[in-house]
Structure 1
Amino acid sequence: MKNASLIRNVAIIAHVDHGKTTLVDGLLKQSNTFRDNQAEMSQTLIMDSGDQEHERGITITAKQTSIYHGEYKINIIDTPGHADFSGEVERTLNMADGVLLIVDSQEGPMPQTKFVLSKALELGLKPVVVINKIDKPARRIAEVEDELANLFLELATDDSQLHYPVYYAIGREGKAWVGVPENPSEHADLEPIFQAIINDIPAPRVSEDGGLQLLVTALQYDSFLGKYAIGKISRGKARKGQSVVIIKNDVASPARIDVLFSYRGLLREEIDEAVAGDIVAVTGASGAHIGDTIADKDEPEALPTISIEAPTLSMFLGPNTSPFKGREGEFTTSRQIGDRLQKELETNVALRVEEQGIGFTVSGRGELHLSVLIETMRREGYEFEVGRPQVVTITEDGVEKEPIEELQIEVGAEFVGVVSQELGTRRAALSKQEQTSSGTTRLTYHLPTRAMIGLRNLLLTDTKGTVVMNSLPHGYQPLGGKLPQTRSGVLIAFETGTTTPYALENAESRGELFLGPAVEVYAGQIVGLYTRQEDLEINVCKAKHLTNMRSKSSDGTVQLTPFTELSLEQCIDFIENDELLEVTPKSLRLRKKLLDPNERKRANK
């Protein structure tokens, strides 16, 4: 058992794809956490455990691991880089005493870097900067150092935060240096990073005397021991079998630490006692939620709860009401969906759920935050429908205000005009335009969050997939007027049936199709995008009638243009207020809220 002076709690923060998780891989491997013959020694992105994390190449949930270097125990917290998962960042930074800020030597500090760093500096955490990927041909280390200095000047809460050590690394190769190396291919390891954590990151500021205090910052489950409450011990000691209380909103309920775990590598190891400053997991406190305090029953004092920023987007999520309901999903009822959302609330602290009729209004920090939840539920066998994302407004001094975002777009010079035109229609204000070292143009805009809905798809199409977009919250402004609809009308299936090549050949001359032949559709389902502004009902199930007349041309095989298959995010971006997205484990179907054409006409009058 170590005392607090031999413990270091460090969070690793960075923009998406700047090499954060890869550097953690290197630290795990070089600290002799794994045996040489263990599978992890040949793996990459060891900390990204979820299917979606591997598929999307991003970190979604914060995770903690521990490594040992000499006599020091280093608790590493790997945080997400996306502002959409800021709830994860806000809760886990509470466990850290310092941060390792990793920045790409070519891209420099990016919007999400700014977002996570501002949170860390607000909490008074000590920063250590690592400029990564210094072997890139287009590296610009001196300029990146200047950009970092400006960023710290903008965000620092006191003068001491302006003095930060800088290290240089090639995370993929497990190399780091105190200064810029003349020959990056020379032999090196991550020892400078280990020394930086030990010497530059302070020991936990905790009291070893007094009763136990532990703020619950994460929860995990397994079928063997149930719920694990995870957090940093702020005062006293935690012991196996200890009687404690869980304090929530000044109400204390009794509990007991059944089993106490510490971390070593990716594994939890059972221990008998842990000291202040260490990050532990306990079982037995089944009533604990994130933000609660586990305290000594004789000294029941609560710690300050975690403050989480308000959600910015909400959407309707309810049971499927389409003619195909119940065909493909295992969990389809409102009660089953409600139970699943309540379970999600325990660990997803930035999420809000309110009942709305037979469905629910789910609020989160952005489209990605909500789409990850939808994809997770879909993979678990849930079937439901979702509506168009809506902005969550607040009222301040009697004025209704909406969230705004800072949007940074990097694009080739030939596409600047089309990007400016699209953002102009969405009432975005250009605040900065600059050329990057790689020859692209970087544009910074401020615009309402609701103007971001559907923007990514349009810009990817307009720029032939070359646009790079990053956004972060930028406060609130008085609610503006209605934004113009930028999308064309849709092609709607006229009747229920199975699509035929003959009917689709006729339909594709009217617009862009979203499905191919031999697909079951129902009346009111959206099958494509029309070339005009209004909607068009079309028969995509019509079969070709056989006649006695035969000609060479009429019996030729139908050549269909390949259809556009939309991803989950693209579907959510696509739908308008009078439309829904049906989500099942096997299918994504776009549909009108009102399937009957006569009801739609009456509603539009």
Structure 2
Amino acid sequence: MDLRNIAIIAHVDHGKTTLVDELLKQSGAFRTGQAVAERAMDSNDIERERGITILAKCTSVEHGGTRINIVDTPGHADFGGEVERILSMVDGVVLLVDAAEGPMPQTKFVTAKALALGLRPIVVLNKVDKPDAEPDRALNEVFDLFANLGASDEQLDFPHLYASGRAGWADPELDGPRENLDALFDMIVAHVPAPKQLAAKDEPFCMLATTLSADPFIGRILTGRVESGTLKTGETIKALSRTGDKIEQFRVSKILAFRGLSQAPIETAQAGDIVTLAGMSKATVADTLCALSVETALPAQPIDPPTISVTFGINDSPLAGRDGSKVQSRVIRERLFKEAELNVAIKIADTPSGDAFEVSGRGELQMGVLIENMRREGFELSISRPRVIFREEDGVTLEPIEEATIDVDDEYSGAVIEKITGPRKGELVEMKPAGAGKTRIIAHVPSRGLIGYHGEFLTDTRGTGVLNRVFHGWAPHKGPIEGRRQGVLISMDAGVSVAYALWNLEERGKMFIGAQEQVYGGMIIGEHARDNDLEVNPLKGKKLTNVRASGTDEAVRLTPPVRMSLEQAIAYINDDELVEVTPKSIRLRKRWLDPHERKRQGKVA
């Protein structure tokens, strides 16, 4: 059977997974009447809830005698470690662009790597049936993007289609029949070359491991494209590191190939096909799996270093152990090291105390997803504020810089630019109208400056702004950047919060808790209206007497409290604060201070 390997690239929420749904349906991957969930490729709960792709996944469809292996790539830069390696096992890419928004940061990030590898893209302008779609403008922006990224003349001469993934059609012309996706299938077969590895089927077996996962029945499994030769189930092969050192020798217990949404066991893996192997115990991503006679490892994409680190510790608050079943440092350590084994973009290190662990990764969202998965499994944790990882080169301290692409209403652009370029030490790169009364701002900002900024950004833009960020590079350290400006309200005692006390505290600032909630000394219950921390008493009830007077006994009406998501809480805290995460609650608290020390520092109200 003829073979094609492609990856689909798109920014978050540009309709990538929905389009893959339609490709599967129209290729006959599902039997008639089969119940199929919407966004079938989003396999875990968090992906479905947030509408983002976190894990790279493969699927396979057949069209006119050609098998097309499709790789659904993550749509967020924090999971870009997956994307870079996946592009090395495909021969073409489909670039999906929202016809209203045009190319966005993640599009630029992945497309640059695809163009550098010499892959020729097919551009699909999606959601052209939306009322605010401007497909011609989006197409021109894609061409300009390719030119800026140094695309060759051949890559600039890209074919394009107009499509609606939700409606299930793609046409070469905007006013086409709008019936099905046959035009996309035909363009993939015609435009994407067959794997050049097919010519190397008589050479010794070689495969580069691209993604790593675990199966509860067959154990550790590695997925990648067969670069040369063939492999049969039961054969003995070896794994080589990127430097060519032998890691292990093992017998292949199972070979799986992608057929629709599932994987089916096959007897022989052919050159050019994307397959999954089982049987290894040590081999990991970027290793070469090869025949025993092979001595040289295949060139592999280096794994980008982490840019932020977070301390995961045991939950030692007075409310510890009430919600979760996994609270010991030993259990937390086992879970984190298991995660690092499967997710090569994460690094784990023990701290001197032994009850906390340094977890390094690519961004706040990646950390947030890991913490969310752990709390759903029954873990209780205390999480520190994210810290940026610096590098030393030739005696110069370098820090990570991110490219922030911001779409805001024209009236708020001034406030956003002032915040980005002032206290956060960003540099304005581009500013242009984006249509419909909006402005697009592109700036290079230190990662430190963007930690905790998103909440402030939504306030400044009245919730209408969209902020996207992607790793840009390293630059010399830009000096101190101030953290959160507001202080916090801290409970001075333990007990159950009282509505009357919270009502009296509302003039002090915004509250994070409501009435009848458990609190303890040191817990952060609100944001102070001023820049200093204040200890308050949320337990103080109204003194009752037998005297009643008109106007003094009206019902207490509380302003609804601010409920932070996990990522918002992690970004909000300062260095002397922690986020307490349990399966049922997210609380903020101060790192413990001796009561006499707090009094000496003048922090008691």
When normalised by structure 2's length, the TM-score is: 0.95
Q: Which position in structure 1 is the counterpart of 2:524?
A: 526
Q: Which position in structure 1 is the counterpart of 2:316?
A: 321
Deviation at 1:600, TM superposition (A): 4.2
Work out which of the residue numbers 213, 220, 226 in structure 2 matches 1:220: 213
Contact 1:308 1:350 in 2 (8 A): yes
Alpha-carbon distance between aligned partners in 2 of 1:221 and 1:538, rounded to the nearest angstrom? 49
Alpha-carbon distance between aligned partners in 1 of 2:262 and 2:484, rounded to the nearest angstrom? 50
Q: Which position in structure 2 is the counterpart of 1:311?
A: 306
Structure-to-structure mapping, 1:406-445, within 5 angstroms:
406-423=403-420, 424-445=422-443
Structure-to-structure mapping, 1:186-205, within 5 angstroms:
186-205=177-196
Deviation at 1:604, TM superposition (A): 9.2
Q: Which position in structure 1 is the counterpart of 2:45?
A: 51
Work out which of the residue numbers 377, 380, 383 in structure 2 matches 1:383: 380
Q: Which position in structure 2 is the counterpart of 1:498?
A: 496
Alpha-carbon distance between aligned partners in 2 of 1:181 and 1:497, rounded to the nearest angstrom? 64
Tell me the SS of whatever aligns to 1:457. Answer: helix
Decide which moves more: 300-309 or 397-406: 300-309
Residues paired across the two proteins, number: 596
The answer to whether the aligner puts 1:372 opposite 2:366 as a matched pair is no
The answer to whether the aligner puts 1:18 opposite 2:11 as a matched pair is no
The answer to whether the aligner puts 1:270 opposite 2:265 as a matched pair is yes
Encode CA deviations 1:311-359: one digit per residue, 9 max, x unaligned.
Answer: 2111111111212222222211222111111111122221122211321
Q: Which position in structure 1 is the counterpart of 2:156?
A: 162
> 1:130 corresponds to which letter in structure 2?
V
Q: Which position in structure 1 is the counterpart of 2:137?
A: 143
> 1:421 corresponds to which letter in structure 2?
E
Q: Which position in structure 1 is the counterpart of 2:82?
A: 88
Alpha-carbon distance between aligned partners in 1 of 2:294 and 2:449, rounded to the nearest angstrom? 51
> 1:37 corresponds to which letter in structure 2?
G
Contact 2:214 2:342 in 1 (8 A): no
Alpha-carbon distance between aligned partners in 2 of 1:159 and 1:598, rounded to the nearest angstrom? 71
The answer to whether the aligner puts 1:32 opposite 2:28 as a matched pair is yes
Deviation at 1:299, TM superposition (A): 2.7
Decide which moves more: 292-301 or 499-508: 292-301
Alpha-carbon distance between aligned partners in 2 of 1:470 and 1:559, rounded to the nearest angstrom? 38
Alpha-carbon distance between aligned partners in 1 of 2:362 and 2:209, rounded to the nearest angstrom? 22
Change (3 A) 1:125 1:542: same
Encode CA deviations 1:179-238: one digit per residue, 9 max, x unaligned.
Answer: x232x5x34211111111111111112121222111111223232222222111111112
Deviation at 1:263, TM superposition (A): 0.9
Alpha-carbon distance between aligned partners in 2 of 1:277 and 1:74, rounded to the nearest angstrom? 12
The answer to whether the aligner puts 1:208 opposite 2:201 as a matched pair is yes
Q: Which position in structure 1 is the counterpart of 2:337?
A: 342
Alpha-carbon distance between aligned partners in 2 of 1:271 and 1:198, rounded to the nearest angstrom? 24
Alpha-carbon distance between aligned partners in 2 of 1:157 and 1:308, rounded to the nearest angstrom? 24
Alpha-carbon distance between aligned partners in 2 of 1:602 and 1:153, rounded to the nearest angstrom? 62
Q: Which position in structure 2 is the counterpart of 1:405?
A: 402
Structure-to-structure mapping, 1:434-513, within 5 angstroms:
434-513=432-511
Contact 2:484 2:572 in 1 (8 A): no
Deviation at 1:465, TM superposition (A): 0.8
Contact 1:245 1:300 in 2 (8 A): no
Change (3 A) 1:125 1:187: closer
Contact 2:125 2:163 in 1 (8 A): yes
Q: Which position in structure 2 is the counterpart of 1:354?
A: 349
Tell me the SS of whatever aligns to 1:99. Answer: strand
Structure-to-structure mapping, 1:91-130, within 5 angstroms:
91-130=85-124
Structure 2: stretches of 5+ with no match in the other structure: none
Change (3 A) 1:150 1:463: same
Work out which of the residue numbers 229, 253, 261 in structure 1 matches 2:256: 261
Tell me the SS of whatever aligns to 2:54. Answer: coil
> 2:31 corresponds to which letter in structure 1?
R
Alpha-carbon distance between aligned partners in 2 of 1:519 and 1:293, rounded to the nearest angstrom? 55
Deviation at 1:114, TM superposition (A): 0.4
Deviation at 1:147, TM superposition (A): 1.3
Contact 2:97 2:126 in 1 (8 A): yes
Deviation at 1:8, TM superposition (A): 0.8
Decide which moves more: 145-154 or 286-295: 286-295
Alpha-carbon distance between aligned partners in 1 of 2:361 and 2:59, rounded to the nearest angstrom? 27
Change (3 A) 1:603 1:279: farther
Encode CA deviations 1:363-399: one digit per residue, 9 max, x unaligned.
Answer: 1111111111111111111111111111111111110
Q: Which position in structure 2 is the counterpart of 1:514?
A: 512
When normalised by structure 1's length, the TM-score is: 0.95
Contact 1:428 1:447 in 2 (8 A): yes
Deviation at 1:70, TM superposition (A): 2.1
Decide which moves more: 250-259 or 295-304: 295-304
Tell me the SS of whatever aligns to 1:401. Answer: strand
Decide which moves more: 595-604 or 62-71: 595-604
Alpha-carbon distance between aligned partners in 1 of 2:140 and 2:178, rounded to the nearest angstrom? 28
Alpha-carbon distance between aligned partners in 2 of 1:594 and 1:96, rounded to the nearest angstrom? 52
The answer to whether the aligner puts 1:279 opposite 2:274 as a matched pair is yes
The answer to whether the aligner puts 1:333 opposite 2:328 as a matched pair is yes
Deviation at 1:491, TM superposition (A): 0.2
Alpha-carbon distance between aligned partners in 2 of 1:145 and 1:485, rounded to the nearest angstrom? 40
Change (3 A) 1:602 1:62: farther
Tell me the SS of whatever aligns to 1:216. Answer: strand
Tell me the SS of whatever aligns to 1:409. Answer: strand
Deviation at 1:287, TM superposition (A): 2.4
Alpha-carbon distance between aligned partners in 1 of 2:217 and 2:418, rounded to the nearest angstrom? 57
Structure-to-structure mapping, 1:45-84, within 5 angstroms:
45-84=39-78
Tell me the SS of whatever aligns to 1:75. Answer: strand
Tell me the SS of whatever aligns to 1:377. Answer: helix
Deviation at 1:483, TM superposition (A): 1.3
Tell me the SS of whatever aligns to 1:508. Answer: helix
Q: Which position in structure 1 is the counterpart of 2:539?
A: 541
User: Considering only aligned residues, what root-mean-square deviation do their CA atoms show, in Å?
Assistant: 1.7
Structure 1: stretches of 5+ with no match in the other structure: none
Encode CA deviations 1:40-87: one digit per residue, 9 max, x unaligned.
Answer: 2xx421111111111111111111001111221111000012111111
Alpha-carbon distance between aligned partners in 1 of 2:343 and 2:138, rounded to the nearest angstrom? 34
Alpha-carbon distance between aligned partners in 1 of 2:570 and 2:195, rounded to the nearest angstrom? 44
Deviation at 1:140, TM superposition (A): 2.0
> 1:367 corresponds to which letter in structure 2?
E
Change (3 A) 1:340 1:306: farther
Change (3 A) 1:391 1:538: same
Q: Which position in structure 1 is the counterpart of 2:233?
A: 240
Contact 2:428 2:441 in 1 (8 A): yes
Contact 2:4 2:69 in 1 (8 A): yes
Alpha-carbon distance between aligned partners in 2 of 1:304 and 1:601, rounded to the nearest angstrom? 61
The answer to whether the aligner puts 1:288 opposite 2:286 as a matched pair is no
Contact 1:525 1:595 in 2 (8 A): no
Tell me the SS of whatever aligns to 1:460. Answer: helix
Alpha-carbon distance between aligned partners in 1 of 2:214 and 2:483, rounded to the nearest angstrom? 44
